[in-house]
Amino acid sequence: MTKKTVAIIGGGASGLFAASKLSSDKFDVTIYEKNKTLGRKFLVAGDGGFNLTHSENIEEMISRYTPISFLKKSLQEFDNSFYSEWLAKIGISTFVGSSKRIFPKEGIKPIQVLNAIKSELHENNVKFKFEETWIGWELDGSLNFLSDLSIKPDIVIFSLGGSSWKKTGSDGSWCSLFKQKGIEVKPFRASNCAYEVNWSSDFIRACEGEPLKNIAVRNEDKVVKGELVVTKFGLEGNAIYALSPEIRREINVSNRAIVYLDLKPNLSDQQVLEKWKNNKEKNKTDFLKFGLKLSKVQVKMLKTLLSKSDFLNDDILLEKVKNLPVDLLNASPIDEAISTVGGIATTEVSGSFELNDYPDHYCIGEMLNWDAPTGGYLLQGCFSMGMKVAQVLNE
């Protein structure tokens, strides 16, 4: 049986996952990557806390993705347990952190995870072509590259990434090529990013870089517990990243978004009130510090965001401890975002990510218009999509 040729364009996470599972008996697989190396953004992801996936049950996990139905089937079929087992099989042990996120076992560096994936690809006879930038199609459907290379594979899997951290290669410059083909491409926007707050210079001088731990952030009725960090630009951290779709929508409509911080999510309004009533020390700042055990930065934040008269008003102050409005003016510049939304519209592909109007052409990973918070959900999404495409092709 002659093997079909598969070209995977883009050697990032999703392309590598797909390549690892495509049957080498049926396919002759080549990855075309514009960089000199594979997985540059994967390594960047590994630089901080390297969340490979998350350990929560799959139904809860699915609810984190927007649009919720788009990845549902792939996530169910190739879920976090499947992914963890796959990692173990390629020699990468993992552990579940206190945040329920899944990390490589202590001592395993990101480059070792990438190398384990590469070994898997070598075992699977996948070929690599580096410094090959795809620049479009010929009329007969051949793929053209900047180097003058032209190929006409039987199957094409695009895994070109989103549009942040351009230095890793994911620059979204391919959008116009799909648009020219009549494929709907949504503009890229920052997700999982910092948001601008108009802090006073005094507050920044005192609090820049300070964390706000064990808080909750609310936008309308969505509440996320977690951590934030005060930056010169505004606020960043997992508690706000997870609200990105809601914040983005509000900024789009009103040029600003309001989130509400709960500085004491483990106490009810009533418990805060009781503490105040039982508090002998009626100095407000001392009560916040010692009665409620708020950190220095939390107290300073109340002082900077409330007017003096509101701070001195018992009822208002107590209410704001649990519900402190913060005005967000803008998302961070797109290149600084951990991920992007936008790219190929989800309506342009089938459940197995094949382009509706271009049979045997698939799109996977961040180049599609879906969103998920940090915490392992992005790589999990890329994994599930890569596995799904391979499964459908292997059938």
Ligand X SMILES: Cc1cc2nc3c(=O)[nH]c(=O)nc-3n(C[C@H](O)[C@H](O)[C@H](O)COP(=O)(O)OP(=O)(O)OC[C@H]3O[C@@H](n4cnc5c(N)ncnc54)[C@H](O)[C@@H]3O)c2cc1C
Residues that bind ligand X (CB under 6 A): 9-15, 32-35, 40-42, 44-45, 48, 50-51, 133-134, 159-161, 164-165, 169-170, 174, 338-339, 365-367, 374, 376-379, 382
Give SS3 for 37.
coil
Under 8 Å between Cβ of 181 and 387: no
Q: Report how far residue 314's alpha carbon sits from residue 393's, in angstroms, rounded to the nearest whole number.
A: 65
Taking the least distance from each CB to ligand X, the nearer of 170 and 295 is 170
Pick from 193, 196, 128, 191: nearest CA to 162: 191
Give SS3 for 143.
strand
Taking the least distance from each CB to ligand X, the nearer of 170 and 298 is 170
Taking the least distance from each CB to ligand X, the nearer of 124 and 133 is 133
Q: How far is the CB of 383 from ligand X (least distance, A)?
A: 9
Q: How far is the CB of 104 from ligand X (least distance, A)?
A: 11
Alpha helix stretches (DSSP H) within the chain: 13-21, 40-47, 58-62, 72-77, 80-89, 110-123, 175-180, 201-207, 238-241, 244-254, 269-277, 284-286, 296-305, 308-312, 314-322, 377-394
Taking the least distance from each CB to ligand X, the nearer of 146 and 312 is 146
The alpha carbon of residue 280 and the mean position of all alpha carbons in its chain are separated, in whole angstroms, by 46
Q: Report how far residue 169's alpha carbon sits from residue 278's, in angstroms, rounded to the nearest whole number.
A: 59
The alpha carbon of residue 387 and the mean position of all alpha carbons in its chain are separated, in whole angstroms, by 19
Determine the residue with CB nearest ligand X: 12
Taking the least distance from each CB to ligand X, the nearer of 127 and 296 is 127
Cα 379 to Cα 204, 339, 361, distances in angstroms: 34, 11, 22
Q: How far is the CB of 298 from ligand X (least distance, A)?
A: 27
Q: How far is the CB of 297 from ligand X (least distance, A)?
A: 24
Q: How far is the CB of 382 from ligand X (least distance, A)?
A: 5
Q: How far is the CB of 168 from ligand X (least distance, A)?
A: 6
Taking the least distance from each CB to ligand X, the nearer of 27 and 178 is 178
Q: How far is the CB of 146 from ligand X (least distance, A)?
A: 8
Taking the least distance from each CB to ligand X, the nearer of 153 and 161 is 161
Which amino acid appears at position 300 of this protein?
A: K
Q: How far is the CB of 170 from ligand X (least distance, A)?
A: 3
Tell me the residue length of the chain: 395
Token pair 């510090």 in the structure block, residue: 289
At 35, which helix (H) or strand (E)?
none
Taking the least distance from each CB to ligand X, the nearer of 237 and 365 is 365
